Chain A
């Protein structure tokens, strides 16, 4: 059975800190690993990773995939209070459904 496990499940940091969120996966016929940001209810897309070792970057956020060890990390540098959200990752295979982890709940305090 496919599964996606995220750690930590929750995290509290101070503004300006750097955080690393972890996502390990076991997905049959793996195609890609996706990261989302979920504020309130609607997840919004951050990154899609298909190749090992190639960093995707958007502003203060970056992510990388290790297909040998079956995990991905999401880094956020110089955190701001607006980064407070849940960050789910999801594994994608050849089917229609994404297999989501429970998400990491990040709280950035002033």
Chain B
């Protein structure tokens, strides 16, 4: 597709369940980011993938959060044993450039709204 695709667009789950969120970046984009936006808050960096390099996981809030990127393309963000404070919009972004901090080159998906009951 032409843009960053995320699925599902909405996910409602019960506290304690595991969830998987998917991101399909723009074809050819080597850099992929996950951000989280809680209600009334700014976007919060979670994790960064660049090509085949080890990901930058410095933003992951706890060990219940993990992400992988298979074949340098599709990425999955997994949240284990979900808690109510995990409720947020999870946004994925991809970029063609390989240099850090090049925010003007980021293309965001429409996000997944996660609600933990």
Contacts and interface: CB of A to CB of B under 8 A. Distances in A.
A96 to B, nearest CB: 4
A97 B91 contact: no
Contacts of A88: 42-43
A60 interface: no
A96 B110 contact: no
Contacts of B113: 41
A23 to B, nearest CB: 11
Contact of A98 (B89, B103, B111): B103
Contact of B42 (A45, A48, A93, A103): A103
A34 B113 CA distance: 24
A93 B99 CA distance: 11
Interface in A12-41: 31-32, 34, 40-41
Interface residues of B, number: 26
Question: Among the interface residues A96, A99, A100, which one has the most CB atoms of the partner chain B within 10 A?
Answer: A96
Contact of A34 (B40, B56, B104): B104
How many residues of A sit at the interface, in one of the four size bands?
Answer: 20 to 34
A102 interface: yes
A97 B106 contact: no
A103 B58 CA distance: 23
Residue among A43, A88, A103 facing the most chain B CB atoms (10 A cut-off): A43
B110 A41 contact: yes
A77 interface: no
A76 interface: no
B59 to A, nearest CB: 6
Contact of B101 (A4, A41, A44, A95): A95
Contacts of A31: 101
